[in-house]
Structure 1
Amino acid sequence: MAEDQATRYPLLLVPGMLGFVRLGFYPYWFGIVKALRRGGAQVYPVMVSAMHSTEVRGEQLLAAIDEILRETGAQKVNLIGHSHGALTSRYVAARHPERVASVTSVAGPNHGSELADYLERRFPLGSFGNGVLNVVLGVSVWLLGLLETGYRGPRLPMDIDASHMSLTTRGVEQFNRQYPQGLPQTWGGQGEELVNGVRYYSWSGTLQPGRSNKGSNRFDGSNLTCRLFAHAFAHEREQCDGMVGRYSSHLGTVIGSDYPLDHFDIVNQHFGMVGKGADPVGLFMQHAGRLKASGL
């Protein structure tokens, strides 16, 4: 059997907001875990609070890392975080670099999300709209917990307002002042790849008429959702995936930030229905090979 993705250290996949491991038989990382394991990688989709601050989620991730290190005997892990999972992974790597070989941000809001900023303006804390939105999100988290079959640990706490603040430009600016590892020095540039022994990488996508809205995405309602959310963007208008801006996603070595992928496509959601010519699973396979070639 080919071992092209057999990295030295285990791969931990960290989900974003409203994330899960598996709902019934349906995984968050659709087709990705199976493909990586076929390539010889040790892969662990982990669970953190579906909605909470980056710091709380980071402490939960740290506990999961310690458990996996004990289980495998490995000295470090490779962290791959989608969306808020990227910030969560960055927190752990900054606080405990000795346990992390690499951090890879996949559509991570490393400079904040303009969508989160829009929602903060539209539904300010304490407003009626904010209350309604929190109820809807709270019910969503409850349903996810009810359907979750891939996580059997203790019940994880929820704080919707803290989660939202962690994703705003203002919240991420505060986070970045404490944990700047891998951030570009100039807007749209690349960051330092190796910091405190941890390698940093990123990739992301953008909505591209004629590509990201074609193929199977014609039948995927989440692509329409991303196209609607994209109207909230001003600074990175026409340069976003519907939830995160292209240049806001940059961290460390930027593998690419203009793949024809919306915010859900990039983790092969939903049911692998993606735009014309897109190959999100292939990006994960190539990256595992990249990590292996780097001795990670």
Structure 2
Amino acid sequence: MNMKLVRRIVVASVFCCCYTLGQAHASESSLPRVSSAYAQTKYPIVLVHGLTGTSKYFGLLDYWWQIPGDLRANGATVYVANVAAFNSNEQSGEELLKQIGSVLAATGAAKVNLIGHSQGGTTSRYAAAVKPQWVASVTTIGTPHAGTVVADMVNDIVNMTPQALKNLVVDGSSLFGSLVSLFAGNLQSQDPLAALHALTTVGAADFNRRYPSAGLPASCSSQSGAVSEVRSGNTQLLYSWTGNQPFTNFLDVGDSMMLVGSAIIKGAGGGANDGTVSVCSARFGRELGGYGWNHLDGANQLFGLRGLFSADPVVTIRTQANRLKTAGL
């Protein structure tokens, strides 16, 4: 290969990487302010993170990269939940309910719109099932509603691991989860094994049995479930979307893990996926599309790196806020 061409590629790659890292340290206040009412929903929006997540990592890095600021710039009232990084849907859902109660008290609103990424979607479903009068809509992004075979494989490995090593991994995960929640100002108890079980196909099936939803499709071939459901006289609108490309940007360090996850899913006959969750498992309610994203891209991670011509997650969520506004929510 021509060495001049190689040097140009290297220089361009370093420039892109440095630019991205520079953007990572930019505050949301530096984002362009649209000053519109495009995303001004009737009810506040609560963003709910997934496994290993928090509202802001160590006070520096937003889980929902640039998304809350953009929504606020377009008129939305936005809160970012901070539930356990590692716990069951039920325990995380109970903590989410406490935070929703605080949002309602602070704003005087009657309900909220929940938008959950990954396990944040099932956490949101739990809250919607337990307190339907508090939830106007549930939108899930890359959520393993039917579980994921990646979690199945990890669970099998954990079960074969010597107890001493298993305890070390569990304690390390719990420590990490406690630290990130402490930095976010809301220390949470952690249960990595319960979180792992919730993401397995068996755990998801059990959760769906105990907390059924009309939004769940009967099968992959049925494409999507009901677009709304009524719980105790309260109508909730249901939406979902997901990614379908495990590798999207060679500068993103998370993409290599997504390739491994995708191989596991395809090896088990799971078909198209985002590197962690199959498209089939992510279907819920009104399916709004499959994007050229991997699992991390759904929350605009890491630092907004994604495929060159893929949809912008920030715009996608802003558009969803407008959709909720148009629906009177």
Say whether the fold is shared (TM-score over 0.5): yes
- Distance, in Å, in 2 between the alignment partners of 1:164 and 1:262 is 20
**1:107-163 CA deviation, whole Å, 9 max, x = no partner?**
000111110111122332xx325763563454244245435576323x211111111
1:180 and 2:195 correspond: no
1:12 and 2:46 correspond: yes
Q: Work out whether residues 134 and 160 of structure 1, in 8 Å CA contact, stay in contact via their aligned partners in 2.
A: no
The structure 2 residue matched to 1:239, chosen from 264, 269, 272, is 272
Name 2:237's counterpart in structure 1.
199
3-state secondary structure, aligned to 1:123: helix
Give the letter for the 1:106 counterpart: I
Where does the alignment leave 5 or more consecutive residues of structure 2 unmatched?
1-34
1:120 and 2:155 correspond: yes
Q: C-alpha root-mean-square deviation of aligned residues, in Å?
A: 1.8
Relative to structure 1, is the Cα distance of residues 176 and 60 closer, same or farther in structure 2, using a 3 angstrom cutoff? same
Name 1:39's counterpart in structure 2.
74
- Distance, in Å, in 2 between the alignment partners of 1:149 and 1:159 is 16
- Which region of structure 1 is more displaced relative to structure 2, 1-10 or 226-235? 226-235
- Distance, in Å, in 2 between the alignment partners of 1:149 and 1:286 is 32
1:97 and 2:97 correspond: no
Give the letter for the 1:158 counterpart: Q
Q: Work out whether residues 293 and 307 of structure 2, in 8 Å CA contact, stay in contact via their aligned partners in 1.
A: yes
Task: Give the TM-score taking structure 2 as reference length.
Answer: 0.82
Relative to structure 1, is the Cα distance of residues 133 and 289 closer, same or farther in structure 2, using a 3 angstrom cutoff? farther
Relative to structure 1, is the Cα distance of residues 131 and 202 closer, same or farther in structure 2, using a 3 angstrom cutoff? farther
Where does the alignment leave 5 or more consecutive residues of structure 1 unmatched?
none
- Distance, in Å, in 1 between the alignment partners of 2:190 and 2:173 is 11
Q: Note the 1:133-148 alignment, pairs <5 A.
A: 135-136=168-169, 138-147=171-180
- Distance, in Å, in 1 between the alignment partners of 2:166 and 2:306 is 28
The runs of at least 4 consecutive aligned structure 1 residues that moved more than 6 Å come to none
Give the letter for the 2:153 counterpart: Y
Relative to structure 1, is the Cα distance of residues 43 and 291 closer, same or farther in structure 2, using a 3 angstrom cutoff? same
Relative to structure 1, is the Cα distance of residues 288 and 137 closer, same or farther in structure 2, using a 3 angstrom cutoff? farther
Task: Give the TM-score taking structure 1 as reference length.
Answer: 0.91
- Distance, in Å, in 2 between the alignment partners of 1:149 and 1:68 is 20
Q: Work out whether residues 14 and 81 of structure 1, in 8 Å CA contact, stay in contact via their aligned partners in 2.
A: yes
- Distance, in Å, in 1 between the alignment partners of 2:327 and 2:64 is 24
Q: Note the 1:247-262 alignment, pairs <5 A.
A: 247-256=280-289, 258-262=290-294
**1:239-260 CA deviation, whole Å, 9 max, x = no partner?**
111111101000000001x211
Q: Work out whether residues 45 and 114 of structure 2, in 8 Å CA contact, stay in contact via their aligned partners in 1.
A: yes
Q: How many residues align?
A: 286
Relative to structure 1, is the Cα distance of residues 32 and 94 closer, same or farther in structure 2, using a 3 angstrom cutoff? same
Name 2:299's counterpart in structure 1.
267
Name 2:253's counterpart in structure 1.
221
Q: Note the 1:45-194 alignment, pairs <5 A.
A: 45-124=80-159, 127-128=160-161, 132=165, 135-136=168-169, 138-147=171-180, 151-153=184-186, 155-181=187-213, 182-188=215-221, 189-194=223-228
More helix by share: 2
Query: What is the identity percentage for the equivalent residue pairs of Structure 1 and Structure 2?
Result: 36
Name 2:7's counterpart in structure 1.
none
Q: Work out whether residues 185 and 191 of structure 1, in 8 Å CA contact, stay in contact via their aligned partners in 2.
A: yes
Give the letter for the 2:297 counterpart: D
- Distance, in Å, in 2 between the alignment partners of 1:130 and 1:27 is 35
